[in-house]
Amino acid sequence: MNLPIGLLDEHPHWSDRLIAELRRRDLPFEKIDVSDHAFLPAARERRYSVLVNRVSPSAHTRGHPSSLFYALQALTYFEEIGTPVINPAASYRYEASKAAQALLLERLGLPYPRCAVLNQPGQILDLLQTFRFPVLLKPNVGGSGAGIVRFDRPEDLEAAAKRNAISLGPDGTALLQECLESEDGSIVRVEVLGGEFLYAIKITTDPMAGFNLCPADLCQVEGETSAPAALAACPADVNPAVARRVEKFDPPPSVIADVLRLTRAAQIDVGGVEYLRYREDGRIYYYDMNALSNFVADAPTLLGFDPTRRLVDFIVAVATGSVERVSRSGGRLQAPPRR
């Protein structure tokens, strides 16, 4: 490669493993801080052999709210000048919008928890009688479980709405979603890479410890406790105080097929989909998509291989134009030629 690999990121440590592997292979790279960045639309010369999008919607919890919305503009620019982008603007739209995820699940006919999208707390009052409790109120733009609140009784949610004690998140939009509790207290996260199944893990959690269910140690906050308010820093990590067990898991072939349909439609090159088996009816429900992954902690021991190395293999293949890319329709789209 005669151009470096670009890493679009705003977190000081989330790309550490990836950078270590790039350095091990002596590959040129540049980390691009999306929290302090500018571009000229008229500048059309490519600077990177490939751009790897590692921006999380949880950036706003680290004092980088502008990154959340600026990233989409930067990704669009890099794509328009012909830079191959891993997890392009299309995938970031799903990463940064739970409403968009619900719409995609509905369009593909995949089961997901019943929800409503709203932009004013008062709308909740009209929806109370049509939802089964408990329910979750989720900011449309979240990340790391940030801002999710559970309500076990209609009267509690009604009181919060009337007091205007409801947070709708950075874009003023939220989801009211039925809270489906899994039959064994666990959820499953299925990881994909390059449009193919990579691995899956089962995460058994403490339901009282919040909603940050990511399985990588990179996202833990120093001194983090099990209190939900402390869980605000990750696209893929579970604190030992939150998770009782993380183990390798083999999902049914039908689930893998569903996840691949979903991630290919969303143009997610690398990321994960989470699902649970609802204890009331025994059915599988998909409830979250992540177009970013730091991978499970101590992956070689747990999985028997290092997914970061496979990610770098994929990055190099895209940079050199030797791999096909995932298309919006779920088929394959040849990587853009180098210029």
Domains, the chain: 5-94+307-334 (3.40.50.20), 115-178 (3.30.1490.20), 182-303 (3.30.470.20)
Q: Which two tokens stand for residue 128?
A: 């109370």
For residues 219 and 233, the answer to whether their CB atoms sit within 8 Å is yes
The DSSP letter of residue 43 is -
Higher pLDDT, 180 or 220: 180
Q: Return the DSSP state at 187.
A: E
Question: What is residue 294's predicted lDDT score, i.e. its pLDDT?
Answer: 82
* Average pLDDT of every residue of the chain: 84
Looking at the DSSP bridge assignments, the partners of residue 8 are: 32, 53
Token pair for residue 92? 């970031």
pLDDT tens per residue across span 106-123: 999 999 999 999 999 999
State how far the alpha carbon of 177 is from the alpha carbons of 125, 256, 281, in Å.
14, 24, 17
For residue range 46-68, list pLDDT tens digits in order: 999 999 999 988 777 777 677 88
pTM of the model: 0.85
CA distances from 94 to 17, 54, 107, 177, 277 (A): 25, 14, 14, 17, 23
pLDDT classification of 296: cutoffs 50, 70, 90: confident
Q: Burial, 238: exposed, middle or buried (Cβ in 10 Å; 0-12, 13-18, 19+)?
A: buried
Q: How open is the CA angle 219-248-86, to the nearest 5 degrees? A: 55
| Distance from chain centroid for Cα 281 | 27
Q: Which residue has the higher pLDDT, 162 or 252?
A: 252
Of 10-14, 195-199, 302-306, the range with the lowest mean pLDDT is 10-14
Alpha-carbon distance values, 243 to 109, 186, 230, 257 (Å)? 31, 9, 15, 27
Give the number of C-alpha atoms closer than 13 A to the C-alpha of residue 268, restricted to the C-beta side: 30
Q: Which of 198-207, 228-237, 286-295, 306-315 has the lowest average pLDDT?
A: 228-237
